[in-house]
Each structure stands twice: as structure tokens, then as C-alpha cells.
Structure 1
Amino acid sequence: MKAVYVDAPESIKVKKVEIPALKENEVLIKVRAAGICGSDIHTYKGLHPFRKPPVIIGHEIAGEIVEVGNNVKDFSAGDRVTVEPQIGTGESEGVMTGNINYSDERLAPGIGEWLGAMAEYFISPESQVIKLPDSVDYDRGVLVEPLAVGVHAAYKADIKPTDRVAVIGSGPIGLLTLAAVKHRGVETTLVTDVLDYSLDVAKEMGATLTVNSAQDENWIENAKNELGGSFDKVFVTAGVRGIIDQSLSLLRKGGKVITVAMFNGSQEVNIENLQQNEKEIIGCMTYNRPDTEEAVRIIEEDKIPVNKVISHKLSLDEADYGFKIVDKKEDESVKVLVKFDS
């Protein structure tokens, strides 16, 4: 089969590899579409903490089961599926509490023997496979996993319909967090970014106000004035310098900041603003099964146009280009899919 490798930092190669042998509790999926994720870009740049080149990349997929192991009970050839790409391992707090995202050791595609998903075929344990509703096509099926991140963030924030919500960063995770928040009934939403085309997508997905923070040095006060005051919840979906303090400045007293983005390095925090106003900063890491199941329901209901985040559908041979434009934020890229023809 052909597979997309991060061969070395900032080097993508398409290579031919053998399809691994199927174990008794596994299914073999013919991949129809795979997404390029922000964490994939961390691997691409050599910055990911535990997924290192050379490695078959990818974990956002949708496809069709073509073979099942002898002990697989709930799936059969022909099923249309996606995959929840994380498994808690070892005697960790996450495994013991049922919060797999807490696990000290987690198995994911591209780690150890579990090969990445951006390939013509992908093997997954049955336990991680999720059926797609008939109405959900493969392209939207790819969005289940990143949308689950936004759903988990909304859960951690304890979102209420009356909340005034800001999303700082309108990349794919920010936009899908917006979708998860709107699914919970929130009407007043601010989305910020430095790229107008990405903010245009936020408008299409129902953001009340969008702001290009690079073009207005007083954007925080202006946004609060336009929407009637400070915000109850602020989601940080871009890991740039100074963004935590910006989010605290948007927040009302007693409000919550939820950190969703992957951060490299440290962030300075105005501890006085945090403490004296009883604001909270909440860590948020991936998702758990209930979040994934809710993500499937959101996509199936089709009330929020999550497909708007898909900006490119590329062939396998164009994967290198896809990684470059996502990394450099070029060609108006948002969510880039790599498609596998039947």
C-alpha cells in the first residue's frame, strides 16, 4: 500500500509499505479520506513530544472496513467508519478513572506498532472503531475526531446557552469548537484570528462577531463594547505568545479560560488579574468516548455546517503540498483532506 511519511522534519514522502498482518481483535479499513491536523504539523516540524519522524502520519480518517479479525463482533466488511485514535495503556489514572485523555501512556497512530492513518489501508482495534451514519459522507466523517476536541472543550467549560463565548483562533479546532458551543445553544460568540479568510469561515458557521486581532490594537475593548461586555468563557485555540493574558482580559470576573491549543514553551500570566477576579484557567486535552459520540450526532444532525472548515481536497501525491500550506497558512488553507480514490 502507499502511505504518507514524515520522512524527516519538513519532509513528506509517499512510500510503498506492506499492509500489516491483521490481529484477531482488529479491523482493516480502506481509507477514503484523511485530514491534516495541527498535531500532525507538530510532527512535520519535528516538535511533537512523542511522535517522531520517520513515521506514517495521520489520525483523522474515514473509510470502509474490508476485513475483520476472527474475534471482531460488532463490525463487518462494508461498514463505513471512523476511528477514535487514542488508547490508554498501563496502570494509569486515566485508565482507572475512565478518562483516557488523562493516561500517562497513550497509544495513538504513529506511535509504536500502531501505524499512522494517512495510507491506503489502516488497521485499528475494534474498540476504537465508530460507525458513521448513512447520511454522513467520508469527508465529514474525517471531522468527527477534531470536532470531538471542541466538544470536550465545551464540556470542560460547562457551557450554558446564556454564556457569552469567545474563541481565540479560527483554525480548524477553533472553528469546530465554535460548532460545539453553538450546538449547546450559545448565541453570542466572538471569534478572532489574524487571517481574514479563516474569519470568513467563522461567519459562515454562525459567529456573532469576528475580529482580525492584527488589524486593531484595541480589539479586546472594542469587541467587549460591541457585544455588550466581558465574556463568560474564552477558548484558547491558538498557541501563540501572550494569548493567555489576552484571554484573561476578555473574561468577566469569575469566568473561565479553556486552553485547547497545543503550546510550545511557557506563557506569561498576569496572576493579579487571575486571582483578584477569581478567574479560572482550565486545561483541556483531547476527548473521551462521550465527546466522540456527541461529535457524530452534531455532524449527523447537520444543523451546523461543519463542512465549511474543509478548504482543500487533495490527492495522495499532493500530500506534501497539503502539509506545506497548512504549516505556512498559505492558499487560504483551513482543514486540508487527503483523498484516496477507490
Structure 2
Amino acid sequence: MKAVFVQDAEKIEIKDIDRPTINSDEVLIKVATAGICGSDIHTYKGLHPFRKPPVVIGHEVAGEVVEIGDAVKNVKVGDRVTVEPQKGTGVSEGVMTGNVNYSDERLAPGMGDWLGTMAEYFVSPEDLVISLPDSVSYDQGVLVEPLAVGVHAAFKGDVKPSDRVAIIGAGPIGLLTLAAVKAKGVTETVITDVLDYSLDVAKELDVTETVNIMDNPNWIEETKERMGGSFDKVFITAGVPGIINQALNLLKKGGRVVTVAMFHGQQEVDIEQLQQNEKEIVGCMTYNRPDTEEALEIIKEAKIPVEKIISHVLHYEEAARGFEIVNKKQDNSVKVLVRFDS
């Protein structure tokens, strides 16, 4: 089968590899569509903490089940599915509490023997497979996993409909966090970025205000002025230096910052502001099954057009171009999908 490899830093290759075999509790999925995620770009750049080249890349997927193991009971051949691509192993707090994202030895596609999703076929344990309704296309189905990140962020933020919410970063995860927050009934929202075309997508998701912070040292005060004051919740969806304190400066006293982005290195924290104003900083890591189920429900209800974030759908032979335009923010790219079914 054909598979997309991150062969080395910023080097994509399409290779022929053996079609994978399945164990008794697994299913084989014929991949229709896979997505390029921000964490895939970290791998592409050689920066990911545990997914290292050379590796079959990808963890977002939608497709059709073509084979099932002998012990599989709830999935059948022909099912249209997506996958929650993480599993806990060993005895850990995550496994014991049901919070897979806490697992010390959490596995994901592209780790060990588990090949990534960006290939003609992908193997998944049955218990990670989620059926897609006929009303949800494969392109929409790929968005279930990244939307679950936004749903989990809203959960960690304890979002209420009355909250005033700011999101720093209008990449795919920032935009899907916006969708998740709006699904909670929030009506006062602002999102910031340095790219107008990403902010235009946020407008299609009915954000209240957008703010381009490029070359604008006063953007924090201007944002608060435009929205009528500080924010109850601030979501960080871009892992750039200084962003923690920027988020704290947007936040009202007693408010909560949620860190969603993948960070590298240390961040400074204004501990005096944090303590004296009783502000909170909350960590947020991937999702759990309830978040994934809620994400699918948001897509199925079609009240929030999350598919608006999809800017490119490329054939897998163009995967190298897809990674390049996402990495370099070219061609007005937001969410790029890679197709195997055409």
C-alpha cells in the first residue's frame, strides 16, 4: 500500500509498504481522508517529543472498515468510521481513572508499531472506532478528532453561556475551540491572529470580533476595549513566547486561562498578577471519549459549520506540498486534508 512518511525533518516521501495485518480485537480501515494536524507539523520539523522520523504520519482519519478481527463485536465491514487515536497502556493514573489523556504510556499513531493514518489502510483497536452517521462526510469525519481537542478545552475551561471568551490563535485548533465554545452557548467571543485569512474563517464561524495583532503592541488593551472589558476565559491555541502573560493580561480577576497549544521550552509567568488577582492557568491535553462523542454530535447537528476551516483537499501524492504550505502558512492554508479515495 501507499503511505506518507516523514522521512526526515521537512522531508516527505511516498512509499510502498506492506498492507498491515490485524489482531483479533482490531479492524482494518480503508482510508478515505486524513488530516494534517499541528502536531504532525511538529513531527515534520523534527520537534515532536515522541513521534520521530522516519514515521508514517497522521492521526486524523475517516474511512470504511474492510476487515474485522475474530473478536470484534460492535463494528462490521462496510461501516463508515473515524477513530479516537490514543490508547493508554500499563498501570497508570490515566488507565485507572478513565482519563486516557493522563496515561503515562499513552500511545498514538506513529508510535512504535502503530502506523499513522496517512496511508491507504489503517489499523485500529475496535474500542477506538467511532461510527459516522450517513449525514457526516468523510471530510467532516476527519474533523471529529481535532474538534474533540476544542471540546475538551471548553470542558477544562468550565465554559458557561454567559462567559466572555478570548482565543489567542486562529489556526485549526483555535478555530475549532471557537466552535466548541459557541456550541456551549457562548455569544461574546474574540479571536486573535496575525493572518487575516484565518480571521476571515473565524467570521464564518460567527465570532463576535477578530483582532489582527501583527505589529500592534497595544492589541491587548484594544481587544478589551472593543469587547467592553476583560475576559472570563482565555484559551491559548498558539505556543509562542510570552503568550501566557498576554493571556493573563486579557483575563479578568478570578478568570481562567486554558493552555491548549503544544509548547516547546519555558514560558514566563507573572506570578504576582496570577496570585493577587486569583487568576488560574489550567493545562489541557488532548481529550477523552465524552469529548469525542460531543464533537461528533456538534458536527452531526450542523449548527456550526466546522467544515469551513478546510482550505485544501489534496491527493496523497501532493502530501509534501500540503505539509509545506501548512508549515510555511502559504496559499491561505488553514486545515489541509489528504485524500486516498480518489
Give the alignment's TM-score, normalised by structure 1: 0.99
**CA offset at residue 133 of structure 1?**
1.0
Correspondence 1:307 to 2:307:
yes
8 Å contact kept, 2:20–2:121: no
Match of 2:289 in 1: 289
Q: Deviation string for 1:274-314 (max 9, x for gaps)?
A: 11000000000000000000000000000001001100000
Q: Is the 8 A contact 2:256 2:280 kept in 1?
A: yes
Q: Which amino acid aligns with 1:12?
A: I
State the partner residue of 1:171: 171
Distance in structure 1 (CA, Å) of the matches to 2:246 and 2:321: 33
TM alignment of 1:134-153, pairs within 5 A:
134-153=134-153
Question: Partners in 1 of 2:53 and 2:263 — Cα distance?
Answer: 20
- CA distance in 2 between counterparts of 1:293 and 1:120 reads 25
Q: Which residue of 2 aligns with 1:13?
A: 13
Question: Partners in 1 of 2:149 and 2:206 — Cα distance?
Answer: 19
> What code does the residue aligned with 1:28 have?
L
The alpha-carbon deviation at position 341 of structure 1 amounts to: 2.2
Alignment of 1:1-342 (within 5 A): 1-342=1-342
The one-letter code matched in structure 1 to 2:9 is P
2:242 partner amino acid:
G
2:163/2:233 contact within 8 Å kept: yes
Deviation at 1:215, TM superposition (A): 3.9
Local SS of the residue matching 2:88: strand
Counterpart of 2:152, as a letter, is: H
Deviations along 1:35-82, one digit per CA (max 9) or x if unpaired, are 000000111111111111000000000000011111110111110000
Q: Which runs of 5+ in 2 are unaligned?
A: none
Distance 2:226 2:329 in 1: 29
1:216-247 C-alpha deviation (Å, 9 max, x unpaired): 22111111111111000000000001111100
Percent same amino acid among aligned pairs? 72
Superposed CA RMSD in Å reads: 0.7
Structure 1 residues 208-217 or 35-44, which shifts more?
Answer: 208-217
What is the rounded CA distance, in whole Å, between the counterparts of 1:303 and 1:109 in structure 2? 31
Rounded Cα–Cα distance in structure 1 between residues aligned with 2:222 and 2:285: 31
Instruction: Report the more deviating stretch, 215-224 or 155-164.
Output: 215-224
**Which 4+ stretches in 1 moved above 6 angstroms?**
none
Cα displacement string for residues 104-131 of structure 1 (whole angstroms, at most 9, x for unaligned residues): 1111101011111100010100010000
Deviations 1:63-103 (A, max 9, x none): 00011111110111110000000000111110011111001
**In 1, distance between residues paired with 2:262 and 2:222?**
28
* Counterpart Cα distance in 2 of 1:79 and 1:42: 32
Amino acid at match of 2:244: I
Q: 2: CA distance between counterparts of 1:72 and 1:62? A: 19
Matched residues in 1 for 2:22 and 2:260: separation? 35
- Give the whole-Å Cα distance in 1 for the aligned partners of 2:273 and 2:177: 25
Task: Please give the alpha-carbon distance, in whole angstroms, between the structure 1 residues aligned to 2:282 and 2:320.
Answer: 35
Letter in 2 for 1:297: E
What is the CA distance between 1:208 and its match in structure 2?
A: 0.3
Letter in 2 for 1:157: G
Find the aligned partners of 2:19 and 2:50 in 1 and give their Cα distance: 23
Pairs aligned (count)? 342
State how far apart, in whole Å, the 2-side matches of 1:173 and 1:288 are: 16
Distance in 2 separating the partners of 1:129 and 1:226? 44
SS at match of 1:87: coil
Alignment TM-score, normalising by the size of structure 2: 0.99
SS of residue paired to 2:235: strand
- Write out per-residue CA displacement over residues 247-282 of structure 1, whole angstroms, 9 at most, x where no aligned residue: 000000000000000000011111111110000000
- Distance in 1 between residues matched to 2:200 and 2:14, nearest whole Å: 33
Separation in structure 2 between the aligned mates of residue 37 and residue 275 of structure 1, nearest angstrom: 35
What are the superposed Cα offsets for residues 171-217 of structure 1, whole Å, 9 maximum, x if unpaired? 00000000000000000001000000000000110110000011422
Distance across 2 between alignment mates of 1:78 and 1:341? 15
One-letter identity of the residue aligned with 2:269 = V
Shift in Å, 1:27: 0.5
Q: Secondary structure at the match of 1:20?
A: coil
